[in-house]
Chain A
Amino acid sequence: MKTLTLLLCLLCISLRAEESRHRVFGLSDPSRELDLREQLKAVPELELAALDLETAVATFRYDVTMLLPDAKNPPTAETIAKRLDELVKKASKNPVSGHVTFSLKPLSSVPEDQLQKIEIQLGLSDCKGCRYTAYLACAKLDGVESVIVSQASLVTAWVQPSLTTREALIDALKKVRIGLPTP
């Protein structure tokens, strides 16, 4: 029954699809893409059409009427974004800890060519949780547009240079007791 609904939804989406791009908050390392896809399976109203890991930009495809069936007027972009965020959060809520690990943010107002790429090599062990810690420490800072931590503990961040610097990121990492490897 569930598969049928899913197929129907996808059909509907592809028939009257709309798309929009959002920044995904919570993609701490490449393996998290699998988590996101897995969790989104429980949200048939959405389809993840495309995902750029390094910039954490996702393209969602959906049918607005399925997304907001009770809307009286045609919904604005903000309303849609808010609804998408709601659905993603709900899908990513951990059933035991109750914590939400994915959410959506609007894209940056700053054009992409004005963003600066910062790379920091960490000495973390191959631990998803630690990468998530490093991710959150950086991602919460003002001016950080996207962060991802590779399995080899390389932090790649896209930031607004006027708002934050490499030192600020290193400081934030130190605060959560993540140090840089000594050469």
Chain B
Amino acid sequence: MLNEAREPMGRLAATASCFGKCKQPKDRTIRTPTPLSTERSMFMKSVNRSLLPGVVPVCVALLLAAAGAARAELPREVQTVFQNRCLDCHDSDTKKGNFDLTALRTDFTDADTFSLWLKVHDRVASGDMPPKKKARPERDEVKVVTGWLAESLTAAERTRFDAESRTGVRRLTRAEYENTVRDLFDLPGLAVQSGLPADGSAHGFDKNSDALDISHVNLAKYIEAADKTLDLAIATRPTAPAAAVHRISLASNYDAGILLMRGDAILLRDGKLDPVFPPSGPSPLQEHAGMREHEQLGIFNRMSSVGMFGEHREPYYNSAFTAVYPGRYRLRASFWSLQWDKGQILPSRGTEVARLNVVHLPPAARGGGHPSELLGYFDAPSLEPQVHQLNVWLNLRDTFSFVAASLVPVDLYRDGAWGQKGGTMGYTGPCTVNDWVEVEGPLHDVWPPLSHRALFGELPITEFKTAEQKGIRPPVHTPNRQEGFGRNRPETEKGLWTVESKEPLADADRLLADFLPRAFRRPVEEAVRKEYVAQVETRLKAGDAFETAMRWAYRAALCSPDFLYHVEPAGRLDDSALATRLSYFFWNSGPDATLTTLAASGKLRDSQVLGEQVERLLKDAKAQRFIDDFLGQWLKLRSIAANDPDKKLYPEFNPYLQDSMVAETRAYFRELIEQNLSARHLVQSDFAMLNEKLAVHYGIPGVCGTKIRRVKLPDGCVRGGFLTQAAVLKVTANGTTTSPVVRGAFVMARLLGKPPQPAPPNIPAVEPDVQGATTIREQLEKHRADSSCASCHEKMDPPGFALETFDVIGGFRDRYRSIGVGDPAPRGNIDPRIRIGFKLGPKVDASGQLPDERTFAGIADFKALIATDERALLHNLAKQFLIYSTGRDIAFSDRAALDDIVSRTEKRGGGIRTLLHQVVASPLFLTR
């Protein structure tokens, strides 16, 4: 389920572990040896209104502390409060919740001690402790404890942060690395992320030094990635390869041939069945025979259209086209749909949806099942072809594949399958048609391309003649080849072409002076640059050609810590660090020329300029990366595909629904930012971002087509806000069942900013009853009855109960689906061709009671209740933005500044875009 367990223990991860069970080794403390005087002043502060045995010398006090007699150092008032309110349960005998207050030392420099006292502070301040059943402490008593603790904690942090920064130096995450090189070289489709090992997670995000270990494996992969990047970036021809237009038909490929022969696809021409190739009959008699013979006659090579009946097939276009030149291409595709009725072509039930993928073929690829990535979903209107156009990037050996996404898995070649006899001619159902796909490219505005110029500027590309270049090794280039089965061929290339330099060392210096600051995201000292140039010189002397020698230097730069790490000066960020922090926040990549120029001129720190830049960055298309990367972690969308819904229980689920879900949540977040909507919209709204697939799934009428658009929700609709979005509901379920505990914990941690304590060890998991006898709620009653469990569960379960209204794929339910006992289930919006194998089980009870005793009858009430505390929602979102953009958790002494951000945002209307501005303007963002 939730992968919390993956987090390596961060320095303050102790806050997440149960009292007294801190397992991380003590040596994780970054201990700064403080001079005795500082310690003394610390001690003096902690003894503020001291009537204490304060005359005890520090060393003795420390010794006593070490020996566990911490009581001696607590201020008397604090001790009194503890004695009256806490020690009944939390002394060394009773140790309720395994917490012995008497054993806590007062050495706030120790990380474990610090985090325990932090917990004490928070629980006392929030009123959680003493527990409800006990008598309430006086306000003064609370102030005594929290006051003393606040000062102690702040002082300890101040000392720590004097010696080290809050944000630890960290390397680029995988996504950051890929975006950075893509932008540096203008190679939007360069694929290097998947070759890098996975990053960890700390405080919910990977942008944190605790999450970003590095090993020799990482380094080896970085070297590979650098080579891959340079291979793609360097031009090896004097002129651009000519842009060719290939109009390709699905029919002329092996996969479609098989489907046509079997009757899972039909051949069409001019809107009618292709007369040369009738639909396949039921096997064995009228099934087409001899696919090879059909190919030999050229029956499939006549640019006929192909209609598909099932969604689960993914035929490739690789025989017709496999890319030989990496680069930008313009793609056009023509789709339409029809209703097939036993051989007749009729208007279709509506607009069907076609999906195109980019398929990445490995070398010597055979068969299918190769990695493929979504290119897009396209409307296929009834009977009238619609031509779509989009720009794509293709790498070597890329090709396409087609999926009839809005249909259901249907096999027609087995007689009798899906309840009809007679194969294709006996079938009635929708069919999605692809007329052709057109690939135009590679498209080059300039030659040599920007990627090459980033490395070699305007130096000419000339032919390398080995005879004339004595003693110089020619650069090694791989010729462009058709490595797939595509019929498209590269141009014949003659000769070896490479960049020429008449003054290699001067050019090297000049080129590196341009490249290194851009790559390292800050000015580079001349001495450093000279080291790189010296390496180039060494390589030149060893007989390398200029290109090869420079390549050495570039590869080294891409593997150096200056590139791989975010290097920020301590304290107030300088301009380059600020520009970098900004661009990795909103673009997940290095700063562009505008930001760099502003930084160089010292203008960036001006609040107006800063605000303008935030606006500029948010308006750019690259801001989508922020939305994807942030939501991927904050709302766990990265694990959208972690679980597969059980096929029997949720037969209507398919990849199209899953992709639509993710698109919805991303579009919604984008809308909140673009319209500067308030934090209330995190949980409640009168609109949603939907396409037809989602609208049908949610039972909302009137939406047609695959594009996501803003839809006003009908009155009384339960949807609206993140909590009712299918993607969020899916990542908080396990594919078969939902758990109120998991979902409740998610709501508390991710939206309300109040993460619950982890479960005590040795609590057995609750096994949900899929047979339909008992509901999960009934099963949970038993362990919530125990008061020690209840303290957490009374907070955690209620949101989960409200969300029981939705199943594992985010569909609305008032009764649970079951495979065992139950009543027959009505079809609802599920496609008529999908077999309903599940039944309706017990009723869903989505009512509950919040810890403050307000009750709710269902999800709508619940949303209304939590929407009232807008400040809490805003506060948590601010915190998430800060953790994400600064690469560290919120320290105790940061809390005031965080509250300030929230207040300032509220004063200015409370919108989320405003919040982003306030975050950037805050000292928490502007200092390391």
Contacts and interface: CB of A to CB of B under 8 A. Distances in A.
A134 B289 contact: yes
A96 to B, nearest CB: 4
A89 interface: no
Interface string A125-149: 1111110111011000000000000
B284 interface: yes
Contacts of B853: none
Contacts of A181: 285
Contacts of B293: 129, 132-133, 136
Contact of B295 (A97, A127, A130): A97
B286 interface: yes
B276 A133 contact: no
B581 interface: no
25 contacts: A94-B297, A94-B298, A96-B301, A96-B487, A97-B296, A123-B285, A124-B289, A125-B278, A125-B280, A125-B286, A126-B278, A127-B276, A127-B288, A128-B276, A128-B277, A129-B276, A129-B277, A129-B297, A130-B289, A132-B290, A132-B293, A134-B289, A177-B284, A177-B287, A179-B285
Interface in A67-103: 94, 96-97, 99, 101
B281 A125 contact: yes
Given A125-B278, A125-B281, A127-B277, A99 B286 contact: no
Contacts of B298: 94, 96-97, 99
A176 interface: yes
A35 to B, nearest CB: 9
Contacts of B278: 125-127
Contacts of A179: 284-285
Nearest to A31: B276
Interface of B: 252, 276-278, 280-281, 284-290, 293-299, 301, 487
A132 B298 CA distance: 11
Contact of A124 (B277, B286, B295): B286
A121 to B, nearest CB: 12
Contacts of B286: 123-125
A93 to B, nearest CB: 10
Nearest to B487: A96
Contact of B289 (A99, A128, A177): A177
A99 B281 CA distance: 27
Contacts of A137: 290
Contacts of A154: none
A133 B284 CA distance: 15
B296 A99 contact: yes
Interface of A: 94, 96-97, 99, 101, 123-130, 132-134, 136-137, 176-179, 181
Contact of A133 (B277, B280, B294): B294
Contacts of B284: 177, 179
Given A94-B296, A129-B276, 5 more contacts: A97-B301, A124-B286, A128-B297, A132-B297, A179-B285
B98 to A, nearest CB: 73
Residue from the set A97, A101, A134 with the largest chain B CB neighbour count within 10 Å: A97
A132 B288 CA distance: 11
Contacts of A96: 252, 298, 301, 487
Given A126-B278, A132-B296, A176 B290 contact: yes
A129 B487 contact: no
A127 B296 CA distance: 14
Nearest to A94: B298
B241 to A, nearest CB: 23
Contacts of A101: 296-297
Name the residue in A96, A134, A137, A177 with the highest tally of chain B Cβ atoms < 10 Å from its Cβ: A96
A169 to B, nearest CB: 15
3 residue pairs, one from A and one from B, having the closest CB atoms: A133-B290, A129-B294, A99-B296
A174 to B, nearest CB: 10
A126 B301 CA distance: 19
B273 to A, nearest CB: 11
Nearest to B279: A125
